[in-house]
Amino acid sequence: MTVSQSNAAPADGRGGAPILRTEGLTVRFGGLTALDNVSLAVPPGEIRAIIGPNGAGKSTLFNCVTGVLRPTAGRIVFEGEDIAGLPPHRISRKAIARSYQITNILPGATVLENVRIAVQSRHHAWNLLRHHRSYADVLDRARAVLDAVGLRADEEELAANLSHGAQRNLEIGIALATEPRLLCLDEPTAGMSVAETRATVELVRRIARNLTILIVEHDMEVVMGLAQTITVLHYGEVLAEGAPAEIQANPRVQEVYLKT
Amino acid sequence: MSSDILIGYTGMVSFGHSVFFGIGMYGAAAALLTVRPPNLWLALLYGLVAAALVAVFVAYFSTRLRDIYFAITTLVFSQIFYVIIFTWTEVTGGENGLTFRQPPLAIPGVPSAAFTPVTLHWFVLGVVTLSYLLLRRVTQSPFGMVLQSIRENEPRTRAIGYHVERYKIVAVMLSGLVAGLAGVLYAIQNKFVAPDFVFFVVSGEVVIFNVMGGMGTLVGPVAGAAFFLLLREGLSRFWTEYYLIPVGIIFTLMVIWIPQGLLGFAKRRLNQ
Ligand SMILES: Nc1ncnc2c1ncn2[C@@H]1O[C@H](COP(=O)(O)OP(=O)(O)OP(=O)(O)O)[C@@H](O)[C@H]1O
Ligand SMILES: [Mg+2]
């Protein structure tokens, strides 16, 4: 269990400037307010879990951070720069990557190509005349990522033919391949077996050594085991924020979400 | 000539290849008529540069639209282009086309000689083979793999950091170049260009009716046809045979601003 930094340390992180900060982030879909004045700050190196009931606005938060949605109001500051409303490809180049709640890969391409094309977005993308497999640097990096997510043996398999659990890990691999400093994981263990979940938790813990992670998860065991800080969303608002033990003991959180 | 290798790769359908073909053709003709003595390589250069320029222009507008609307917009451009060629008689020869002399085969270092049927055949074959090999290489290049990734999953391709629109523009440009090359070769081979090769109206009008009226509304195409004919009658009074130019512009604006068509637009307005 990772309980190294157990003090609550909300908003401002521990001394150092937060790598990601939202200020008054608000998203409205017509009459529905999916995110309501959300302000949070994530210090570098942290694993931050975002939890909350279905429809609380967790994926919407990720969509804002990764440029899929333009927030109705508020700021998203990443490494000191406001990135709210930038298009997805620009945000990707700022070193923010994500995996998706619903598996989002290139089904008709091989496992290696799924990761290779993500690596390539940073290297030699505009070359028209050399064969794509002739760049050893890109291939090496792609294979290192496949090693990390445990898919090296399946590199020539079509992504569509992988098991659900393996596709979920490929999701993470594609995100990692873009060399992010902030990685947003949207329910990475959804639909996985107990053994697969355990392996993915280990994977997340391993990669967390080098980057900051935002993770949305419904499996409380996974959340309690990984997160240093938990933010609870409820109807688009921040209901509570703190260390896992505090969140578990919080009566309001228990009422709306945990109720075990 | 398989001008659609790249189109097939990005999953974009284009009606407007006749434009690029035509531009290549007329570009080559321009070089062969204005430059003395006629020069083979200059004809190639004029045709290709002209086709590439028009392709960039078309690509810029049409890559903002998806699927059917992309196809329609390219079609509209081919219409506009056709009308320009057809009516700008002093320059393009109008309906009668242009006739010119064939340039000699001039390979640097080899004494130039007039084309014989045999050398012409080998020349065309050589150029086609070369461009095929080049295109195949492009499809396997990092750039080509991005195009395939866009076809497989466009949002994901954006999310990993690719500026998808730019890749699409270059793809359209390349396919325009290939179609333009075909046009150049055609012009050199036949010593003659005419607007018929750029013509697409009949099949095109049906599609235009559909989109103007609103697809999937059944009566939409009828409304679209009525609107189109009214527009044509009204505009041709002032614009005579140039009427297709404003029709094309109105149509393009409609595709961009009210892609659901006239009926779909009316329905939404009434529901509000
Ligand atoms: N593009 C959209 N258009 C309209 N409403 C949306 C859109 N995306 C999300 N919503 C709504 O916003 C609310 C928040 O959705 P969101 O997907 O962020 O929830 P979530 O916390 O991720 O839930 P889950 O645990 O089910 O994944 C929901 O009521 C949802 O229906
Ligand atoms: Mg969600």
Residue among A87, A109, A121 minimizing CB distance to B160 = A121
pLDDT for residue A6: 37
Number of Cβ atoms within 10 Å of the Cβ of A98: 30
- Distance, in Å, from the CA atom of A28 to the CA atom of A35, rounded to the nearest integer, reads 7
- Say yes or no for a CB contact (<8 Å) between A104 and B155: yes
Give helix then strand counts, H and E, for chain A: 9, 10
Q: Are A121 and B160 in contact (CB under 8 A)?
A: yes
**Range name among A54-63, A111-120, B221-230 with the lowest pLDDT average:** B221-230
Q: Predicted confidence band at B81 (pLDDT cuts at 50, 70, 90)?
A: confident
A83 touching chain B per CB within 8 A:
no
- Distance, in Å, from the CA atom of B16 to the CA atom of B55, rounded to the nearest integer, reads 10
The more confidently predicted of residues A229 and A10 is A229
DSSP-derived secondary structure letter, B101: P
pLDDT for residue A36: 94
SS3 A98: strand
Q: Which residue CA neighbors atom 29 of ligand 1 most closely?
A: A55
The more confidently predicted of residues B41 and B258 is B41
pLDDT for residue B11: 40
Read off the pTM.
0.76
Q: For A180, which residue in chain B has the nearest alpha carbon? A: B160
Could you give the angle at the alpha carbon of A58 between the alpha carbons of A179 and A30, nearest 5°?
Answer: 120
Asked whether the predicted pLDDT for residue B150 surpasses 50, the reply is: yes
CA atoms within 13 A on the CB side of A189: 22
- Distance, in Å, from the CA atom of B125 to the CA atom of B102, rounded to the nearest integer, reads 17
**Range name among A214-228, B36-50, B109-123, B218-232 with the lowest pLDDT average:** B218-232
Measured CA to CA in angstroms, residue A141 lies from B148, B149, B158, B161 at distances of 21, 19, 20, 17
Q: Predicted confidence band at B74 (pLDDT cuts at 50, 70, 90)?
A: low
Is the Cβ atom of A56 under 6 angstroms away from ligand 1?
Answer: yes
Instruction: Tell which B residues from 89 to 148 touch A, by Cβ distance under 8 Å.
Output: 137-138, 140-146, 148
In the sheet that A81-82 helps form, which strands lie side by side, from edge to edge?
Answer: A32-42, A20-29, A73-78, A81-82
Kindly provide the ipTM of the predicted complex, given to two decimals: 0.87
Q: Are A23 and A74 in contact (CB under 8 A)?
A: yes
Contact list in B for residue A88 (CB cut-off 8 A) is: 155, 158-159
Contact list in B for residue A104 (CB cut-off 8 A) is: 153, 155-156, 159
Could you say which architecture CATH assigns to the domain A1-95+182-260? 3-Layer(aba) Sandwich (3.40)
Measured CA to CA in angstroms, residue B103 lies from A98, B182, B184, B195, B264 at distances of 58, 17, 12, 22, 54
Q: Which residue CA neighbors atom 24 of ligand 1 most closely?
A: A54
Q: Predicted confidence band at B2 (pLDDT cuts at 50, 70, 90)?
A: very low
Is the Cβ atom of A234 under 6 angstroms away from ligand 1?
Answer: no
**Range name among A26-40, A152-166, A184-198, B164-178 with the lowest pLDDT average:** B164-178
Measured CA to CA in angstroms, residue B4 lies from A116, A215, B150, B232 at distances of 26, 44, 17, 32
What is the average per-residue pLDDT within A150-161? 95
Which ligand does the CA of A30 lie closest to? 1
**Range name among A76-80, A162-166, B242-246 with the lowest pLDDT average:** B242-246
* Closest-CA distance of chain B to residue A172, Å: 12
Tell me how far the alpha carbon of residue A62 lies from the centroid of ligand 1, in angstroms.
Answer: 11
pLDDT for residue B40: 80
E-only strand ranges, chain B: 98-99, 192-193
pLDDT for residue B241: 61
- Distance, in Å, from the CA atom of B235 to the CA atom of B245, rounded to the nearest integer, reads 10
- Distance, in Å, from the CA atom of A255 to the CA atom of A251, rounded to the nearest integer, reads 6
- Say yes or no for a CB contact (<8 Å) between A106 and B152: yes
Contacts of residue B146, defined as CB under 8 A and 6 or more positions apart, other chains included, come to A117, A120, A125, B157, B162, B167
pLDDT for residue A172: 96
Tell me how far the alpha carbon of residue B181 lies from the centroid of ligand 1, in angstroms.
Answer: 50
Instruction: Tell which B residues from 155 to 194 touch A, by Cβ distance under 8 Å.
Output: 155-164
pLDDT for residue A15: 52
- Distance, in Å, from the CA atom of B254 to the CA atom of B68, rounded to the nearest integer, reads 14
Contacts of residue B99, defined as CB under 8 A and 6 or more positions apart, other chains included, come to B191, B192
- Say yes or no for a CB contact (<8 Å) between B160 and A117: yes
Closest-CA residue to B85 (of B262, B245, B250):
B245
For chain B, domain boundaries: 2-198, 200-272
- pLDDT, tens digit, 9 for 90 and up, residues A52-106: 999 999 999 999 999 999 999 999 999 999 999 999 999 999 999 999 999 999 9
Query: Most distant CA pair in chain B: distance in Å?
Result: 75
**Range name among A55-69, B48-62, B85-99, B142-156 with the lowest pLDDT average:** B85-99
- Say yes or no for a CB contact (<8 Å) between A89 and B153: no
For chain A, domain boundaries: 1-95+182-260, 105-179
- pLDDT, tens digit, 9 for 90 and up, residues A171-219: 999 999 999 999 999 999 999 999 999 999 999 999 999 899 999 999 9
What is the average per-residue pLDDT within B93-109? 67
Q: Predicted confidence band at A37 (pLDDT cuts at 50, 70, 90)?
A: very high
The more confidently predicted of residues A184 and B235 is A184
% of chain A at pLDDT higher than 90: 81
